[in-house]
Structure 1
């Protein structure tokens, strides 16, 4: 860990903006840690925000102690992104403990870190900084002010980009990265992905958005051409029939209805996608199948059965992805009060297949269900 301690010693100063520690080695302990400078009683310190499940814990440490504290936390993590006003560092730790540090010089105008303790939340796409596609999609004014009635959408977009930020080390530089977005709709998040990855982070990225609505597809392509986004294209079509690529790096499926999510997940696995981000919607399939005498007193209530079926559907989806060699997480996408569709499945390819078929079978037999994703993954040949 000498390289990490040296990196921290050289960069935990006035130039430091923030750091994100992610990809834990085990399921125990912290799932992610964020570090940022704060000013407390005129003293510059580092605030550590540590996440476990849906909970966040905070600790403020002095600049001198911060390096050792962060290095200690890195012993249970596999990657870190550290940003200063001058450079962006990506730190990767292999299974054998080998440390790799990649440095990218910042080309954009340096933005001083906001170190006020009681600050407003700092979004990836910042308020007051005009973003063309947010203006055209009615989220921002031309001056960069977020329209009050669209602030929930602004928060949602930024929350989604935080998930993208966490998986950046999985996306290779030096070659074209291909991303498929199934059911892209009006494409707020599709445009946000391209803007963030290509414009802000400098990735050579090709994004394909797929949706069934021809007028929406036409409008999105017009906007993409207006912005000069040469590798962002939108196509009319459905998930089941799409065969336009042979291999992809990341598959995104947002609010694909019912089993359309399963077809998207199965295709992602067949394409050996490094990353899958899925926000499921309308999980009707298991609701119609579920029967269980033990749970009968609960499932007699339609609303409770519907919600329970949705949770079971997504839990089994995550289990199937782990069976196929992914590290799967169930995360909260946006706050419950804004939409009931607030679960995101994030899966990162590790190649370590989990031997969990027996437990999947027991669960499915107990509830008398047969999910589409399981059947699709067990089929041979192309979807």
Structure 2
């Protein structure tokens, strides 16, 4: 019989597990922050191993246990996350398995020795608000069937935005957008516990464009959670704003309003609970992140588009270095190749009797190992420079948000085969920011900028 559910804030120690680890297991399993649990070294020799994986059904998380026996037979059992936690605790108590391995963001390993001592190796990271890895990484089984909006079911906003026809059938050319909408709503579902659970939800979409995902967010929050939602979309294009206003009016979405203007001049009467920034180009993403933080946003969801700022600065650094080297009589090659030439010339000097024969070569200065020439194998390829700059840009953005007191993760918005611009930055403001952690992120940001020799837009807003 399974042990009774634990409802206390702090669970007692259990079979050698510290109380804090019991609580961590309860939180991590019940919020789906794991990919797989493997129970091995069974006492029953007919059993090979037992595993558990999270999955989603009709928008609700569940856990599937799978027992594989040595004769090839496989048995499955589905249960709630709470029941899965209780089952795991029962297994640990029974001693049916001697080893447990949990994977997620990091790993947790438990092993019971023959003397019944429990060995613990804990490198598993979870968040307090809960972020389902099954949803985040797309590993829940039958995910295609568990979209919030289904192909073939009429949804007014999808029809008005030209994604489906009046019967609800999604147009072939819009299927990628349809999948993107559903994936985005899964991400909102993940961060929903971090939003206020009562009262009006205030949402801002800065640089909103045609607002596909904004309309989806409004419909989802009002339909799935029965919330009163106030969404403000802002963009500088008058025709786009007019289209969004007409669509909201046609749908009867009274909680949506749109403003044509510059986000630098935007001063809402409230601190937004959620700020969206979806495919804002280049430093427009940085401008949004700055203003979202300035306004005190509780959650930020940002999908960067193009990241040209750092690419231009990195290329300029290399160009300036080349000019400086050429004026000093230096070559502009890979420093390892330059070093190899020097070694070869030194050998030749030792084998020749004429001391002046190689004088020109032996006095040539060698390139120093600075960031710009260490990165030469990347920066002398245009495509690689763009990709490298994009990764560095989003890493710096994430670190800047951490320095400002946010808990940050980067996740995939949609299959990279459909679009290369599929990264989403998810930032949740910590209730009590850790000053040491913020200071460390600040120093990391400054160190990375110094190493690359760049000055990103957000650097000027780094706390002093």
Partner of 1:329: 409
Partner of 1:345: 425
Partner of 2:461: 376
Equivalent residue for 1:47, pick from 64, 73, 87:
64
Paired positions, count: 310
Equivalent residue for 2:307, pick from 261, 268, 283:
283
| 2: CA distance, partners of 1:378 / 1:303 | 33
Task: Note closer, same or farther for the CA distance 1:336–1:245 as it changes in structure 2 (3 Å cut).
Answer: same
Q: What aligned pairs does 1:65-80 form with structure 2 within 5 A after superposition?
A: 67-71=82-86, 78=128
Deviations 1:162-183 (A, max 9, x none): 1101011112132111110011
Q: What aligned pairs does 1:81-96 form with structure 2 within 5 A after superposition?
A: none
Q: Secondary structure at the match of 2:290?
A: helix
Structure 1 or 2: more helix by fraction: 2
Partner of 2:201: 177
| 2: CA distance, partners of 1:23 / 1:66 | 7
Deviations 1:234-263 (A, max 9, x none): 111122222234411111001111111111
Q: TM-score, normalised by structure 1?
A: 0.73
Structure 1 stretch displaced more, 364-373 or 348-357: 348-357
Task: Note closer, same or farther for the CA distance 1:60–1:227 as it changes in structure 2 (3 Å cut).
Answer: farther
Q: Does 1:2 align with 2:6?
A: yes
Partner of 1:52: none
| Structure 1: 5+ residue stretches without partners | 5-18, 39-44, 50-58, 83-116
Deviations 1:170-227 (A, max 9, x none): 1213211111001111111110010000122111110001112211211211111122
| 1: CA distance, partners of 2:382 / 2:395 | 20
| 1: CA distance, partners of 2:31 / 2:224 | 20
Q: Secondary structure at the match of 1:2?
A: coil
Q: Secondary structure at the match of 2:264?
A: coil
| 1: CA distance, partners of 2:223 / 2:402 | 33
Partner of 1:15: none
Partner of 2:345: none
Equivalent residue for 1:309, pick from 383, 389, 395:
389
Q: Is the contact made by 2:271 and 2:297 (CA closer than 8 Å) also made in structure 1?
A: yes
| 2: CA distance, partners of 1:119 / 1:345 | 22
State the superposition RMSD in angstroms.
3.2
Partner of 1:109: none
Q: Secondary structure at the match of 2:230?
A: strand
Task: Note closer, same or farther for the CA distance 1:48–1:278 as it changes in structure 2 (3 Å cut).
Answer: farther
Structure 1 or 2: more strand by fraction: 1
| 1: CA distance, partners of 2:79 / 2:394 | 44
Q: What aligned pairs does 1:120-269 form with structure 2 within 5 A after superposition?
A: 120-269=144-293
Deviations 1:317-336 (A, max 9, x none): 00111111111011111111
Q: Is the contact made by 1:20 and 1:81 (CA closer than 8 Å) also made in structure 2?
A: no
Deviations 1:38-77 (A, max 9, x none): 9xxxxxx94379xxxxxxxxx9852479754345589956
| 2: CA distance, partners of 1:369 / 1:182 | 26
Q: Is the contact made by 1:37 and 1:47 (CA closer than 8 Å) also made in structure 2?
A: no
Q: Is the contact made by 1:161 and 1:192 (CA closer than 8 Å) also made in structure 2?
A: yes
Q: TM-score, normalised by structure 2?
A: 0.61
Deviations 1:335-372 (A, max 9, x none): 11212211110001113242222222221111001111
| 1: CA distance, partners of 2:235 / 2:216 | 17
Deviation at 1:23, TM superposition (A): 8.4
Deviation at 1:285, TM superposition (A): 0.9
| 2: CA distance, partners of 1:280 / 1:251 | 14
Equivalent residue for 1:364, pick from 442, 446, 449:
449
Q: Does 1:62 align with 2:67?
A: no
Q: Is the contact made by 1:46 and 1:61 (CA closer than 8 Å) also made in structure 2?
A: no
Deviation at 1:35, TM superposition (A): 3.5
Q: Please identify the structure whose Cα radius of gyration is greater.
A: 2
Task: Note closer, same or farther for the CA distance 1:365–1:60 as it changes in structure 2 (3 Å cut).
Answer: farther
| Structure 2: 5+ residue stretches without partners | 9-27, 38-52, 67-73, 89-101, 105-123, 133-140, 318-371
Q: Is the contact made by 1:36 and 1:48 (CA closer than 8 Å) also made in structure 2?
A: no
Task: Note closer, same or farther for the CA distance 1:258–1:20 as it changes in structure 2 (3 Å cut).
Answer: farther
| 2: CA distance, partners of 1:320 / 1:61 | 45
Q: Secondary structure at the match of 1:125?
A: coil
